[in-house]
């Protein structure tokens, strides 16, 4: 093993180790400071001397955040992180992406004994790893949120029928249920107490949690606030509809489980076999990339076939309710 390869691999590991150790500490300090600032007074801010200003949490992260503060790209990343409930800034997320690319390229270069092509492929995989993890966190959070909507609506209906206002009923929900729904409802109540209207607070929650069932609830509450009506009866009807949708989705998920497994096998099995053959016999697989048009045409055709099978099966098993 050459010293350059060893240094590259160790550098990537050291970078990830540094980030995993430093960023959580910075994030914890930033959460404490944000909580204190939320309940602090304006007079306290005015009396604070200039030399006691808050220290910068991360020079690189703050510089990236300032550069992307007013760009659509940075806003989209911030929205995705908020939906996943990850306490990361845009700068910290991009640092993780760069670290994943560097580590993926270094590992690919090391495992393939110096192949640039394999290193580029693993670097591309490293680029998609943070995005995939964020997407998984979003789906897991939305799934947990949707499973709690039935209890949320039942408590809201019971509270409204007992004489509570919608805000008081949401306060009771936030104190009784568990996260993630209790956290989001608690944010809505806090935003309303800080001066936002109900429509704005609910719109912010809908932006953080992209759920069709939640969209239906928010729309019903906003319409009832504008035109009037019995909100308890409306939410009771929506609760019955959501429970039936959850039941039907569960049945569909069971019936389409085999199709989803087939979809995953079609995508990952050829890639895994190719990577395994490349590791044990690089000369055999490298002919695809060194024989010119014939080899690259086979790679392109196989990739298109895999993607076509994936999207076709995904379209078949993805049944909207």
* Domain parsing of the chain, residue ranges: 3-135, 142-254, 256-317
Confidence at residue 21, expressed as pLDDT on a 0 to 100 scale: 46
Model pLDDT, residue 41 = 37
> Mind giving me the DSSP string for 101-133?
HHHHHHHHHHHTTS-HHHHHHHHHHHHHHHHHH
Do residues 160 and 235 touch, judged by C-beta distance below 8 A? yes
> 142-254: which CATH topology?
Receptor-associated Protein (1.20.81)
> Which of 252, 224, 217, 234 has its CA nearest to residue 145?
217
Is 317:256 a contact under the CB 8 Å cutoff? yes
| pLDDT mean over 121-149 | 87
pTM for the full predicted model: 0.65
Three-state secondary-structure class, residue 246: helix
Integer Cα distance of 123 and 100 in angstroms: 8
Q: How far is CA 161 from CA 105, 164, 165, 231, 232, in A?
A: 60, 7, 9, 9, 7
Checking 205-208 for CB contacts under 8 A at 24+ apart, the result is: 207/79, 207/82, 207/83, 208/82, 208/83, 208/85, 208/184
* Mean pLDDT of the region 210-221: 86
What pLDDT is stored for residue 81 in this prediction? 85
Confidence band, pLDDT 50/70/90 cuts, at residue 70: low
Q: What is the mean pLDDT of the chain?
A: 77
Number of other CB atoms surrounding residue 59 within 10 Å: 9
């Amino acid at each position: 093993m050459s010293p350059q390869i060893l240094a590259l691999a160790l550098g990537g590991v050291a970078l990830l180790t540094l980030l995993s150790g430093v960023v959580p500490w910075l994030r914890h300090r930033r959460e404490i400071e944000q909580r204190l600032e939320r309940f602090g007074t304006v007079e306290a801010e005015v009396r604070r001397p200039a030399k006691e200003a808050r220290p910068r949490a991360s020079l690189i992260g703050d510089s990236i955040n300032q550069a992307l503060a007013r760009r659509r790209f940075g806003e989209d990343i911030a929205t995705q992180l908020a939906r996943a409930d990850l306490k990361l800034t845009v700068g910290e997320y991009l640092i993780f992406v760069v670290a994943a690319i560097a580590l993926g390229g270094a590992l690919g270069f090391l495992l393939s004994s110096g192949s640039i092509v394999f290193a580029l492929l693993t670097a591309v995989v490293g680029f998609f790893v943070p995005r995939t993890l964020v997407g998984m966190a979003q789906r897991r959070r939305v799934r947990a949120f949707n499973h709690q909507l039935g209890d949320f609506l039942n408590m809201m209906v019971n509270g409204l029928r007992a004489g509570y206002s919608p805000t008081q009923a949401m306060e009771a929900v936030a104190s009784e249920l568990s996260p993630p729904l209790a956290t989001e409802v608690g944010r809505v109540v806090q935003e309303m107490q800080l001066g936002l209207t109900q429509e704005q607070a609910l719109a912010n929650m809908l932006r953080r949690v992209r759920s069709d069932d939640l969209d239906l609830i928010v729309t019903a509450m906003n319409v009832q606030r504008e035109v009037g009506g019995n909100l308890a009866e409306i939410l009771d009807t929506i609760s019955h509809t959501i429970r039936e949708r959850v039941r039907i989705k569960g049945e569909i998920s069971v019936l389409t489980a085999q199709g989803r497994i087939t979809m995953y096998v079609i995508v990952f099995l050829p890639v895994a076999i190719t990577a395994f053959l490349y590791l044990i016999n690089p000369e055999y697989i490298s002919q695809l990339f060194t024989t010119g048009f014939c080899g690259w045409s086979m790679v392109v055709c196989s990739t298109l076939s895999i993607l076509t099978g994936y999207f076709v099966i995904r379209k078949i098993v993805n049944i909207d309710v």
